[in-house]
Amino acid sequence: MIFPQFSDKIEKLIEFSALGATMLATLTHRKEVVFMSLPPCPNCSSEYVYQDQEMLICPECAHEWNPNEVPEEDDVITAKDANGTLLADGDKVTLVKDLKVKGSSQVLKIGTKALIRRIVEGKDHQLDCKVDGAGEMMVTAAFVKKA
């Protein structure tokens, strides 16, 4: 042996790696998944979450959270229409004024109906909508009212 002073540590390391290989072979033979106990991502519902110390991390949306903390209700994104009514996903709304569509010569008329797909956080456009006759587009919440 080259380093006799490390021989006992090397033997323990070899025993430990053999034990690890045996455990891995057992888990592979049983076809068990070790990471099934982690909850899905609260943002995107991804199941590919991993743990880094106390934090859980989602590799798909890069969201980090502590599973021991109680989630705050302030994280919910809200939007109010022209009348001050709170809007939610799936609400049907109508336009309260004519809107020019950016990058097009199309104009959306007053009373055009739209369905809110989701509410996003943004300073210009908060609503991801399906607008009748125009398709999918982002709309500012101040220019709609709940139908």
Rounded to the nearest 10°, the torsion over CA 39, 68, 61, 48 is -30
Residue 34 has what pLDDT? 46
Residue-wise pLDDT tens digits, 43-85? 888 889 999 988 999 999 888 988 888 666 556 778 899 999 9
Residue corresponding to tokens 């880094």? 52
Q: What is the pLDDT of residue 83?
A: 94
CATH number of 34-76: 2.20.25.10
Q: Is this prediction's pTM over 0.85?
A: no
Question: CA 137, 128, 78, 115 torsion: positive or negative?
Answer: positive
Mean pLDDT of 111-117: 95
CB 63 within 8 A of CB 45: no
Domains of the chain, residue spans: 34-76, 77-146
Say what the pLDDT of residue 140 is. 92
Kindly calculate the radius of gyration of the chain based on its CA atoms and give it in whole angstroms.
27
- Report pLDDT for 7: 64
Least confident residue range of 87-91, 99-103, 120-124, 139-143: 120-124
**Which fold is adopted by the domain 77-146?**
SH3 type barrels. (2.30.30)
Ranking 7-11, 29-33, 61-65, 98-102 by mean pLDDT, the lowest is 29-33
